[in-house]
Amino acid sequence: MNPVRAVKGRLKEWVFRIAPTRLYLALYARDTDRRVAENPARASGHAEEAVAPIVTAYVRHLGLEPHQHLLDFGCGTLRTGKHLIAYLGPGRYVGVDISRGAVDYALDLVARNESLSRKTPRVELVEPFQELDLPRPPDFILCHSVFTHLVRPAARRTLHQLRHVMGEGTTLALTAFCGESYGHRSYKNIQYPVSEIKEMARQNDIALEELAGDWGMSQTIFYGGLAGSSQTAG
């Protein structure tokens, strides 16, 4: 590798690792903006063709039905969101994201696509941890490939943020990279022990379990609901 690029890469890795939470998220959002500008098809990582069928399969397995209201938290460029919008009835999809580039791209995609815009999805830019303005508790909250990028304090605060919009009937599904200990796999890929994900959720009255089965991903799928509710996993 070109030595200048190698040094830049090491520096970036170091800055992301030592940045306080808000700065980390600001840097991460700008990194996503840059990736969207360079190649929107790969801005969220793996290609849509590989990821969207898996996500639509597991949310349906977990009970998402077309008449239900979905919050796609960290919706990005609608890599998977466009398939969920197609599956859901009109007015049932809300997507939020902290990357202006991703949200602008998503809004443009909806505006250019008649079958998507007919479903009147709501896609919004949000600040990290902001109170979400939803007319009702969603039936389903999806965080696909979002906690995979959240450092510990951000993951804790995000669970707290989500807990505030959850109702008795809300199913929460999130994915995470899991390993023996907490740590960075790369500048923006973070792994957690399974027990830590569950404990952070439990501290917010959310009961999560791993979804059994081989879903063809390197991420673990967690699902559940408010502790003691009918959506509680297990």
Assess 149 for contact with ligand SAM (CB under 6 A): yes
205 — alpha (psi -120 to 50), left (phi > 0) or beta?
Answer: left
Assess 145 for contact with ligand SAM (CB under 6 A): yes
Residues in 14-33 that interact with ligand SAM by CB under 6 A = 29, 32
**Alpha carbon distance 86, 53 (integer Å):** 13
- Which residues make Cβ contacts (< 8 Å) with residue 15, sequence separation at least 6? 27
- Least distance from C-beta 78 to ligand SAM, angstroms? 7
* Smaller CB separation from ligand SAM, 79 or 119: 79
Q: How far is CA 23 from CA 44, 121, 128, 151, 191, in A?
A: 20, 30, 11, 11, 19
Q: Which helix (H) or strand (E) holds 17?
A: helix 3-18
| One of 85, 146, 172, 190 touching ligand SAM (CB under 6 A) | 146
Burial of 67 (0-12, 13-18, 19+ CB in 10 A): exposed
Q: How many residues lie near ligand SAM (CB under 6 A)?
A: 24
The candidate with the shortest Cα–Cα distance to 165, out of 195, 138, 145, is 138
The one segment of 8-16, 113-121, 141-149, 190-198 that binds ligand SAM by CB under 6 A? 141-149
* Smaller CB separation from ligand SAM, 40 or 76: 76
| One of 44, 171, 191, 220 touching ligand SAM (CB under 6 A) | 44
* Smaller CB separation from ligand SAM, 161 or 229: 161
| One of 35, 40, 59, 80 touching ligand SAM (CB under 6 A) | 80
Give the bridge partners for 75, in sequence order.
none
The one segment of 70-78, 110-118, 192-200, 217-225 that binds ligand SAM by CB under 6 A? 70-78
The site map against ligand SAM for 82-121 (x = CB under 6 A) is --------------xxxx--x-------------------
- Least distance from C-beta 204 to ligand SAM, angstroms? 15
Amino acid of residue 183: G
Helices (H), 142-217: 152-163, 194-202
- Least distance from C-beta 188 to ligand SAM, angstroms? 9
Assess 45 for contact with ligand SAM (CB under 6 A): yes
8 Å CB contact between 70 and 39: no
At how many degrees (to 10) do helices 194-202 and 152-163 cross?
40
The candidate with the shortest Cα–Cα distance to 24, out of 129, 103, 94, is 129
Contact residues toward ligand SAM (CB under 6 A) are 29, 32, 44-45, 51, 73-76, 79-80, 96-99, 102, 126, 128, 144-146, 149-150, 158
